Structure 1
Amino acid sequence: MVPRLNITFDLAFVDGDKRKYVDYYEMVLTNLAKGGYIIADNTLWDGHVVEQPRNADAQTIGIKIFNDFIAKDDRVEKVILPLRDGLTIIRKK
């Protein structure tokens, strides 16, 4: 568990259960140094994030929620790189 490590990160790579990306993000951001980076993988999710997801598609819904959350978060600067499934680079202010 990241909060129990009592260390500060300069860089974190997030790639896990897409339904929990916001949880991972908040956990890592708490322990991220000012000016540090989070790189989130699969944020374009093979283009499915621009489609209306089926109710049963929890992974796509999770990524869309994450992308919307990051877009509104003024604690960070961010950009999505359209490489393969998408990489979001997030810098803590």
Structure 2
Amino acid sequence: MFFLPQDLDDYIVAHSQNEPQILKDLSRETYQKVLQPIMLSGPYQGRVLSMISSLISPKRVLEVGTFTGYSALCLAEGMPENSDLVTIDINEELESLCSRYFLRFRESVKKINFIQKIGPALDIIPELEGYFDLVFIDADKPNYVNYFHQIMKKVRPGSLIISDNVLWHGKVVETVKKKDMSTPVLLEYNKLLKEDPRLQTVLLSVRDGLTLSRVIKS
């Protein structure tokens, strides 16, 4: 699925940094073996995540929503060697697929400590120790507000929170359907990020919407 006209999306990808081979391979395998491959960040957003990570060089990263590991690998590109990337997903069936690519990254690209946590993120996040320099949220939308409140206890001034799918296929500017459980939460979440005095927030029209929120005070 293209969130921009396909020819425009192709042009953007063609004029951005090339997608590394490891990500091309992971994307191909995801489309071959996994349901809903559209959940991948993809080459355009992937290069954006890699650039952001490279600019801030985070030593500790938390990802909520691993899927097959594409976005984790993009974020890892900008991390210093031997830094920690903790990634959480509830789907244990994808753990082995992610592990293979994380190991390949460590052996061929850079030594990053990938720490996979399987289970409900709302149970796992409170148990994590220390603070994170960068947090990427790309999980079940009805829990975005809940994730935010937990994550704010794990960040400090200077940390960056990146939130994915905040435009939700354009549904945030449409009439909300009665059975839609995600859009109302995203509307609340987007408002929360804008109005929280602890954050400096900008919403980018990257793919399905990507919000950058810099923590300015605790």
TM-score in terms of structure 2 length:
0.41
> How far did 1:3 drift?
2.1
User: Shift of the alpha carbon at 1:33?
Assistant: 2.3
SS in 1 for 2:126: helix
Spell out the pairing of 1:23-42 with structure 2 (5 A cutoff): 23-42=146-165
Higher helix share: 2
TM-score (norm 1): 0.94
1:92 corresponds in structure 2 to 215
Give, in whole Å, the separation in 1 of the partners of 2:185 and 2:141: 5
Identical counterparts, % of pairs: 39
Deviations 1:16-46 (A, max 9, x none): 1111101111111111121100100000111
Poorly superposed stretches of 4+, deviation over 2 Å: none
Structure 2 residue 45 is the aligned partner of structure 1 residue 45: no
1:88 counterpart letter in structure 2: T
Q: Deviations over 1:35-78 (max 9, x none)?
A: 10010000011111011211211111111111111121111000
* Matched residue, 1:57: 180
Alignment correspondent of 2:196:
73
2:61: which partner in 1? none
Tell me the residue number matched to 1:18. 141
Amino acid at match of 2:195: K
Distance 2:143 2:154 in 1: 17
Is the 1:46–1:84 contact (alpha carbons within 8 Å) kept by the matching residues of 2?
no
State the structure with more CA Rg. Answer: 2
Gaps of 5+ in 2: 1-123
From 119, 125, 128, the counterpart of 1:2 = 125
Structure (1/2) with the larger strand percentage: 1
Matched residue count:
93
